[in-house]
Chains A and B, each alone.
Chain A
């Protein structure tokens, strides 16, 4: 199966990079896809789609740091799996619902915030529960990817990436405000 994917790549460098990712992280991709789809055959479809996506963005994939690469592979597989399940279930993206409930629209962001261990724990949990459409661009931004790179990786418009980053920030800050109020 690897040979089929390699035939879609042009240079030796691209093929070597893809081959390394395939051998090292295919299992991680399968594990992540199964966690979302709960079905072996759907997970295979997700992996296939993710491999095709990796082929499209292979030049932008950073392989220097194996820990960050593993997280990157996990992010894009998870994102692809969520989109796949959503399409199968004909579910609309949840952006507008989140907007209606969690946004602090009028107050500007503070420059600094005082954080203790309890509020930090809360915000970490909030990140873990953050919707995939916000979490994926936020994770990639923190890893140092530029807006245009994130747009290419997640197959979004760069304006959509900026909007989702803005919303992710607002949701997490709103959660922190709630924790201080309580």
Chain B
């Protein structure tokens, strides 16, 4: 057995191990030419693809109609929320260096926070929650590069909630379903937030403050999520 040891950073070790694993797996495969010769799509498959693509085109046209109707109503709601920010006292307006956009895509929307102020590069500390609903226990803590922190709580059933805080940097994107969800504007403690209510009963509360993007989500009702959001502190 070889006892010689190498001192490596964790990232370097993982990169080496993943690269080695991939190289071994690729080496075990037949050549590309052999694999290409073995691939013969059936005529039934070809016909199926043509039918699927024609069906998708019709579905796409119907979805676009619903999509534009829904987007118009939600952009109006978001505009009211942004406009209300402009009506805040002058000091608060000067502090609004983060612009909020909602980009509508096929099945989801991208909530984009775009910041002109890159002074904040790290989270100010770890998250602490003043309020945790009864019966919920901390299941997992995730931190990434000191720019992302996430807490996940569950109770003994399938109910859960999650709190994430991310440094916005140049921009921050949160993708949320828009096919089976309703969007509302909501204010708490001076924060203008977006509330996404999903058909499956889950809720998302998304807002930004001091160049940090906040996301409180879970299977709880919105009132509970707001209580959790109000109790977020840094230690």
Chain A residues within 8 Å of B, Cβ to Cβ: 1, 4, 8, 23-31, 40-41, 44, 47-48, 67, 70-71, 74, 99, 103, 105, 109-118, 120, 123-124, 126-128, 138-139, 142, 148, 151, 157-159, 162-163, 165-167, 169, 172-173
Contacts and interface: CB of A to CB of B under 8 A. Distances in A.
Contacts of B16: 120
B50 interface: yes
Interface of B: 1-10, 13-22, 24-26, 29-30, 32-39, 41-42, 45-46, 49-50, 52-53, 139-144, 148, 150, 164, 166, 173-175, 215
Given A74-B26, A116-B4, A159-B166, A27 B32 contact: yes
Nearest to B145: A162
Nearest to A28: B35
A137 B80 CA distance: 38
Contacts of B53: 4, 8
28 contacts: A1-B46, A23-B36, A24-B32, A26-B39, A41-B45, A48-B45, A74-B26, A112-B9, A113-B9, A114-B7, A116-B4, A117-B1, A118-B1, A120-B17, A120-B20, A123-B13, A124-B17, A124-B21, A127-B18, A127-B20, A127-B21, A138-B18, A142-B14, A158-B175, A159-B164, A165-B144, A172-B14, A172-B17
Given A26-B39, A31-B35, A70-B26, A163 B15 contact: no
Nearest to B21: A127
A28 B29 contact: yes
| Chain A CB within 10 A, most for which of B3, B19, B46 | B19
A118 B5 CA distance: 10
B41 A114 contact: no
A33 to B, nearest CB: 10
Contact of A166 (B6, B50, B142, B164): B142
B14 A115 contact: no
B142 A163 contact: yes
A157 B32 contact: no
A120 B16 CA distance: 9
A182 B143 CA distance: 29
B5 A128 contact: no
